[in-house]
A and B are shown apart, each in its own frame.
Chain A
Amino acid sequence: MSEAVAVHGAVEPAETPLTPESWGKLGMWLFLAGDAMSFGGLIVAYGALRYHSKSWPVPAEVLGINLTALMTFLLIVSSVTMVLGLAALQDGDKPRFKKFMGLTILGGAIFLGLQAYEWTHLIGHTLPHYKLDFSTDLFATTFFVLTGFHGMHVSGGVIYNICVLAAVSRGRYQAKHVEIAGLYWHFVDLVWILIFTFVYLL
């Protein structure tokens, strides 16, 4: 890798589409493209099943919007702290990076806690005559599959971010590695923005 960087530093191709620094990012983007299609398939399936169903609960009434709006805001904030952390590291300010990366991890962890709270609340008691667990109806099944799949991504992201923070602290990772981790984290945020609209608001 250091060899590739050295070659790039010497040649500095001005107009080539990808420089060696981009390869890691390209790899992450290719993974995210595949992952996006998994989410796309699930969201489209949700829409198709909903349109086909004779009865479908009003999601906002069953799920409630307040808590989820807070979760959406929380993920957006954690995306911002991630880019601010990256910017700090690019400027060589490691303590500032650690602070913002810690906040990013905290944001993700609180999101997971709120989702766990939401799920237990839904499974336990939803509405007087409507109990929401995995096998209640198509809405419940697609809801738990979609938010669960996303929650798994958040869990993975929190673990990934903890590893990146540790590796930067020990001097093994630099800004370019943080940028790649950031791509994953922002993707998780981006998907939640779509899930919030398609599953909760519509």
Chain B
Amino acid sequence: MASTAHAHPNYIKIFIILSVLTAVEIGVTFLGLPRPLLVALLVGLAVWKAALVALHFMHLKIEKTTLTIVAVIPFILCVFLSLMLLPDIYPR
């Protein structure tokens, strides 16, 4: 267990970015943007924030590739699930 002089990621920087992105998310809901643009923006911001948490707080950026593969699989499957439901949803 020789873990002296650990180089830690700059967590405070990530925290500030996450806070700013949260403020931006709430801000864009008041802009009165067209619905598709708003949905795209909010989903994009949410995925960005989630990626920041996974990469920096959960250390995927400096972690073994195997763990990243494990983490990405459910994300792909959930996108796949949404796409499979589209034919059911689209015609209303």
Task: Please report A residues at the B interface, Cβ cutoff 8 Å.
Answer: 5, 17-19, 22, 25-26, 29-30, 32-34, 36-37, 40-41, 43-44, 47-48, 51-52, 60, 65, 69, 72-73, 76-77, 79-80, 82-84, 87, 90-92, 174-175, 179, 182-183, 186-187, 189-190, 193-194, 196-198, 201-202
Contact = CB atoms under 8 A, between A and B. Distances in A.
Contact of B22 (A44, A47, A72): A72
B69 to A, nearest CB: 9
Interface in B1-54: 1, 3-4, 6, 8-9, 11-12, 14-15, 18-19, 22, 25-26, 29, 38-39, 42-43, 45-46, 49-50, 53-54
A70 to B, nearest CB: 10
A76 B85 contact: no
Q: Which 9 A-B pairs have the closest CB atoms?
A: A40-B78, A197-B46, A36-B74, A87-B8, A186-B57, A80-B15, A90-B6, A29-B70, A190-B53
B62 to A, nearest CB: 12
B22 A51 contact: no
Contacts of A47: 82
Contacts of B19: 73, 76
Interface in B50-83: 50, 53-54, 57-59, 63-67, 70-71, 73-75, 77-78, 81-82
Secondary structure of the A side of the interface? helix
26 contacts: A17-B64, A18-B64, A22-B67, A29-B71, A33-B73, A33-B74, A34-B74, A37-B74, A37-B77, A52-B92, A69-B22, A73-B19, A73-B22, A76-B18, A80-B11, A80-B12, A80-B15, A80-B57, A82-B57, A83-B57, A90-B6, A91-B6, A186-B53, A190-B50, A197-B42, A198-B46
B77 A40 contact: yes
A201 B42 contact: yes
Given A36-B75, A186-B53, A84 B11 contact: yes
A193 B78 contact: no
Most buried by B among A33, A69, A72: A33
Nearest to B22: A72
B89 to A, nearest CB: 5
A44 B81 contact: yes
A193 B64 contact: no
A11 to B, nearest CB: 15
A48 B89 CA distance: 7
Given A18-B66, A79-B57, A65 B29 contact: yes
Nearest to A76: B18
B42 A202 contact: yes
